[in-house]
């Protein structure tokens, strides 16, 4: 792969950004960074704690600040949180030295994968399926606009998805 640009994984919750990002970084001999983990470290709180104690607006502010810090890093693989695209300035900044790869998955697959843990405050309600549907409807155009290319992770494991991304990146 010739590109020196950062590889940025974007996409909805449960599309596999973290698992795929780790594998991709290993294959490319690059450093893997997960924005949510940086946020937790900085705040000394878990994501659910930040949401419940400080609110989503505060979370977005910290997310934006730490995201900006990553843009001065070179040749990293960065996994962003699903809501990163809500602020167009985030996308603008990441695009300056990054290729934005959007992972997608079917609604059913997202619902299945996100049912496995309780670390996603936006999905901790009774009507999880409807919530996912509503959020996806709103965000889909934002992912579409931000992404340089898409890879569907439904019916694939992280290794297969990472291999597909590698193929696409070879052409860059």
Q: Interacting stretch for ligand S3P, rule CB under 6 A, among 105-113, 120-128, 145-153, 159-167? A: 120-128
Residue 122 contacts ligand S3P per CB under 6 A: yes
Between CA 24 and CA 56 the distance in angstroms is 30
Residue 17 contacts ligand S3P per CB under 6 A: yes
Among 19, 81, 109, 169, binds ligand S3P (CB under 6 A): 81
State which residue, 122 or 166, has the beta carbon closest to ligand S3P: 122
Between CA 164 and CA 170 the distance in angstroms is 10
Non-local CB neighbours of 135 within 8 Å, separated by 6+ positions:
12, 122
Element at 150 (helix H, strand E): strand 149-152
Going edge to edge, which strands form the sheet with 149-152? 31-34, 76-79, 6-11, 98-104, 149-152
Among 19, 24, 33, 47, binds ligand S3P (CB under 6 A): 47
Q: Interacting stretch for ligand S3P, rule CB under 6 A, among 20-28, 99-107, 118-126, 156-164? A: 118-126
Residue 36 contacts ligand S3P per CB under 6 A: yes
36 touches 47 (CB < 8 A): yes
* Binding site residues, ligand S3P, CB under 6 A: 13, 17, 36, 47, 81-83, 120-122
């Amino acid at each position: 792969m010739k590109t020196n640009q950062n590889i940025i994984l974007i996409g909805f919750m449960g599309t596999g950004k973290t698992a795929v990002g780790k594998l991709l970084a290993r294959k490319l001999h690059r450093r893997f960074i997960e924005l949510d983990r940086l946020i937790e470290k900085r705040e000394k709180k878990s994501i659910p704690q930040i949401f419940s104690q400080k609110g989503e607006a505060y979370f977005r502010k910290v997310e934006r600040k730490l995201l900006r810090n990553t843009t001065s890093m070179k040749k990293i693989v960065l996994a962003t949180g699903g809501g990163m695209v809500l602020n167009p300035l985030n996308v603008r900044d990441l695009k300056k030295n990054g290729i934005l790869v959007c992972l997608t998955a079917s609604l059913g697959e997202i619902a299945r994968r996100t049912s496995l843990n309780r670390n996603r405050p936006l999905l901790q309600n009774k009507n999880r399926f409807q919530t996912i549907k509503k959020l996806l409807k709103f965000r889909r155009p934002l992912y579409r606009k931000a992404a340089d290319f898409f890879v569907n992770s439904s019916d694939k494991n992280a290794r297969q998805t990472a291999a597909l991304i590698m193929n696409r990146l070879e052409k860059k």
